[in-house]
Amino acid sequence: MRFHILTLFPEMVRQGLETSIIGNAVRKGIVELDPVNIRDYTADRHKKVDDYPYGGGAGMVMQAQPVYDAWQAVAASVGYQPRCIYLTPQGRRFDQSMAKELAGEEDLILLCGHYEGVDERVLEEIVTDQVSIGDYVLTGGELPAMVMVDAISRMIPGVLTNDESGSTESLEGGLLEYPQYSRPAEWMGREVPQVLLSGDHQKIEEWRHEQSVLRTLRYRPELLESADLSYQDVKKILKFIL
C-alpha cells in the first residue's frame, strides 16, 4: 500500500514513520511512504503557499494552487485518483473499523492542513473523505496522518509478525486488551496470576477473555454497547455490577 502524504513538513512525516514496525514494513516493501512537499508545487516565485483569509480574521490560509498541483502530480504518477483524506478536526472520527477498511486501498492520499485551514475550493475539488483523530485541536495534520498510517499499516497482511498478531489485540471484538506479564514471576512482592503459569491453555484463554470484559466494564463501559459479548460474558458483567 502506498501512502502519499501532502504536507509542508515531509521530513517530520518520514522521520516519524521510519522507525520500528512501520519502518520495517517500508523496508520490506509492503508499505510505501511518499511524503510530497506541497511547497515544491507552488507557482509563486517566493515559494509562498499561504495568504490572508478573504473577509479578514486571524491566521493564514493554505492556497488552492500548490495543493491542487501536488495532488495532480500524485494522481498522474499512479494513473488514477485515489481516495484523498483531508485531516481536520471537523472530519469523521477515526477508529479501528475505518483503519481496517482503508487497509484495503492500493493508494491513499493524506492531505495535511496547516495555519487556519485550506482554501475550501481545492478541498471541494480533490477531497473524498474528511477525518479527525479526536476532539482536540492540533497545529497541523501531520501527527494525525502519522497516526492513520500506523493504524492502517498494522492491518495490512505481513506488517505484523506472528507474535505481534493483529487480531487478538485491543478493540478487536470491541474489548480492551487483557493484562500482560513477563519474568520474573514475582516482582516487588507482586505475583503473576497463577493461571498464567498453569500451562492450561483453555483456562488461560478463558481468564484473558474475562479480564478483557472486566477491564472494558471498568475503564470504557460505553464500548460494551457494541462489543461482541456471549451469554457467559453478560452473566459475568451482571455478577460484577449487581
Within its chain, how far is the Cα of 213 from the centroid? 24
Minimum CB separation of residue 162 from ligand 6GU in Å reads: 33
Tell me which residues in 141-200 interact with ligand 6GU (CB under 6 A): 141, 144
One residue of 54, 80, 136, 231 binding ligand 6GU per CB under 6 A: 136
Q: What is the DSSP letter of 178?
A: P
The three cell numbers locating residue 74: 500524485
Strands 61-62 and 50-51: antiparallel
Minimum CB separation of residue 137 from ligand 6GU in Å reads: 5
Verify binding: residue 132, ligand 6GU, rule CB under 6 A: yes
One residue of 21, 78, 98, 138 binding ligand 6GU per CB under 6 A: 138
Q: Which stretch binds ligand 6GU (CB under 6 A): 75-83, 129-137, 166-174, 206-214?
A: 129-137
Residue 2 has phi, psi (to 5 degrees) of -110, 130
Minimum CB separation of residue 62 from ligand 6GU in Å reads: 12
**Binding string, residues 68-97; x marks residues near ligand 6GU by CB under 6 A:** -------------------xxx-x------
Minimum CB separation of residue 228 from ligand 6GU in Å reads: 28
Element (H, E) at 235: helix 231-241
Verify binding: residue 133, ligand 6GU, rule CB under 6 A: yes
The three cell numbers locating residue 110: 493524506
Contacts of residue 58, Cβ cutoff 8 Å, sequence gap at least 6: 116
Contact 126, 20 (CB under 8 A): no
Q: Which stretch binds ligand 6GU (CB under 6 A): 64-72, 139-147, 181-189, 204-212?
A: 139-147
Minimum CB separation of residue 144 from ligand 6GU in Å reads: 4
Verify binding: residue 16, ligand 6GU, rule CB under 6 A: no
One residue of 45, 58, 137, 242 binding ligand 6GU per CB under 6 A: 137
Binding footprint of ligand 6GU, residue count (CB under 6 A): 13
The three cell numbers locating residue 177: 486488551
Polymer length in residues for the chain: 242
Minimum CB separation of residue 114 from ligand 6GU in Å reads: 8
149 vs 175, beta carbon nearer ligand 6GU: 149
Exposed, middle or buried, 84 (CB in 10 Å: 0-12/13-18/19+)? buried
- Tell me which long-range contacts 161-170 makes (C-beta under 8 A, separation of at least 24): 164/21
Q: What gap in Å lies between CA 39 and CA 84, rounded to an integer?
A: 18
Strands 186-187 and 129-132: unpaired
Binding interface with ligand 6GU (CB under 6 A): 87-89, 91, 132-134, 136-138, 140-141, 144
